[in-house]
Every structure is written in C-alpha cells, then in structure tokens.
Amino acid sequence: MGMVLYGMDNTRDINDEIMIRHASAVKKAAKNSLVFFDLPYSKKFSEKNIIKRTINIFNQTKCDGVKIEGNSELVDVIKYLKKMNIPVMAHVGLQPQKFSSSSKFKIYGRKDDDLKNILNDCIDLEKAGAISLLLEGMLTKIAKQITITSKIPTIGIGASENCDGQILVSEDMLGMFTEYHPKFVKKYAKLSTNIQNAIKKFRKK
C-alpha cells in the first residue's frame, strides 16, 4: 500500500492510522471475503507494543485477522492473540518491513542454513496458533518443503506454485504501478498506460 498508493520507497512508512482507514474501507466493501490487515512497521519492537497495536486496529477495522511479519520471536504474541480470538497469518521469508528501500529486497533461501531455520520457525509459529503462513520471495525448494511440512495453509507471493494459495499486488498485476516491478509478476493489463492515453485524448478535445 505504501509503495503502490502513496509512492513510498518502502512499506515502513505506513502507520497505524493509515492502516485503520484503508482496512476499514476494504472490510466494508468486501462482503464475502476474509479481510486481514497488515500490522504496520514500528521502531519499537516489543511483544506488548505488537499486541496493543494489533488489538486496537482489529477492533477499529472489524477485520477478520492480522498478518504480522516475523519469525519465532512472534510465538508468544500469537499465543496471546489466539486467546483474544484474533487470527494471525504469519509472514515469513522476505519481510519487506525490514528494508528501508525496495532495491534492497533479496530472495530468501540462498544461505545453507535458511531451509532449516525457516522450517523451525514455521513449526514454532504453527504450534503457537498461526492459522496460515504467508511465504514471500523464497526459493521454490523451500516453499515446497514448508507447504509439505505445514498442517496450515501456505500462501505464496513470489514463492513458486507449490503453495496452497497465491497472492499478488493488484496494482502490479494490472500494470498500474511502474516504479517497481517484481520479476515473478505477470502483468495481465497495462492500466497505467491506458489511463494516461485516455487522459491525453480528453485533454485534446
């Protein structure tokens, strides 16, 4: 949202207020879909901070759950939120909020210990009560192994076709955002060009 709607260079600058506004609008419009909000980045990383902010956004937006970027450090957070009846989707692999610029995004899984580490993380997150795993920007073999091992659904974004489900940023898929184009995204339209051409035609009349 920060990059495709607000022209930010990263996802960090989205704050809770912006997320509440957008997630509330989506939840209001989506009558037949589960809606999860993405917990915004915070410099203050603590379990108390994450829990407090999550509960606040959840209550204000009336969303169905929250997606949180992180690894095994989220175990106690997920356990607590589960008790509060707040479903958590755990976001592992490439975690955009850790980077100050999209140019620094790196595919996860190139190091020798990556598979072992992320498998252990996913097992811990699942045991803690996560209802699904969002796998982003990782090698095919890792996404495949996680999907085989996990008893909860895996949703991939740039993580091969081996996941249980897929997600794409609509602005990328529709060709509306041209500043950054992930290699794994297939464009099904060029709406940015079409919109510009339509406006040019209108201007000439």
Q: Give the pLDDT score at 131.
A: 98
- Catalytic residue chosen out of the listed positions 126, 136, 171, 179: 136
Burial (CB count <10 Å: 0-12, 13-18, 19+), residue 44: exposed
Model-level pTM greater than 0.85?
A: yes
- Contact between 159 and 141 (Cβ < 8 Å): no
- Contact between 137 and 130 (Cβ < 8 Å): no
Close Cβ partners of 97 (under 8 Å, ≥ 6 residues apart): 10, 11, 12, 40, 41, 69
The label of the residue with tokens 């095994």 reads 72
Q: How far is it, in rounded angstroms, from Cα 9 to Cα 192?
A: 19
Domain ranges of the chain: 16-167, 168-205
Burial (CB count <10 Å: 0-12, 13-18, 19+), residue 137: buried
Q: How far is it, in rounded angstroms, from Cα 174 to Cα 134?
A: 22
Q: Give the pLDDT score at 182.
A: 67
Q: Give the pLDDT score at 180.
A: 65
Q: Give the pLDDT score at 113.
A: 87
Close Cβ partners of 198 (under 8 Å, ≥ 6 residues apart): none
For domain 16-167, the CATH superfamily is Phosphoenolpyruvate-binding domains (3.20.20.60)
- Contact between 126 and 81 (Cβ < 8 Å): no
Q: How far is it, in rounded angstroms, from Cα 157 to Cα 146?
A: 14
Mean pLDDT, consecutive 10-residue stretches, the chain (205 aa), reads: 78 93 97 96 92 98 97 97 98 87 74 89 98 95 95 94 90 75 74 90 87
Q: Is 136 a catalytic residue?
A: yes
Q: Give the pLDDT score at 103.
A: 64
Q: Give the pLDDT score at 181.
A: 66
Q: How many residues are given for the chain?
A: 205
Helix axis angle for 140-149 and 114-128, nearest 10°, is: 30
Determine if residue 71 is left, alpha or beta; phi over 0 gives left, psi from -120 to 50 gives alpha, anything else beta.
beta
Q: How far is it, in rounded angstroms, from Cα 97 to Cα 123?
A: 22
